């Protein structure tokens, strides 16, 4: 007779997406899709209410997205 463990788990490797803060404050002509997305995600992080911030952070946990402060935003040179 084989006894089963009470807790079984499988280690799964996942990717984590880091959103560097701050991001662009406003969309500008000529921005790439990645730059627009960066600004959009950075603005979600600055949500005006605690309830909205909690919702955004819940989504981040679900999708393995993490915000990190890295200094002043410097737009890429073209």
pLDDT digits over 12-70, tens only?
A: 667 888 888 888 889 999 999 989 999 999 999 999 999 999 999 999 999 888 898 88
Predicted local confidence at residue 78, as pLDDT = 60
What is the torsion angle, in degrees rounded to the nearest 10, for the CA atoms of residue 64, residue 76, residue 44 and residue 18?
20
Predicted local confidence at residue 64, as pLDDT = 87
pTM (2 d.p.): 0.68
Q: Report the residue count for the chain.
A: 78
Predicted local confidence at residue 5, as pLDDT = 57
- Answer whether residue 1 shows pLDDT above 60: no
Average pLDDT over residues 67-75: 75
Tokens 């950075």 appear where? 42
Q: How confident is the model at residue 6 (pLDDT cuts 50, 70, 90)?
A: low
């Amino acid at each position: 007779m084989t006894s089963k463990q009470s807790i079984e788990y499988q280690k799964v490797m996942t990717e984590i997406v880091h959103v560097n803060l701050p991001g662009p404050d406003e969309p500008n002509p000529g921005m790439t899709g990645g730059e627009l997305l960066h600004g959009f995600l950075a603005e979600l992080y600055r949500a005006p209410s605690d309830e909205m911030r909690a919702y955004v952070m819940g989504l981040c946990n679900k999708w393995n997205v993490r915000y990190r402060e890295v200094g002043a935003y410097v737009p890429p040179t073209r």
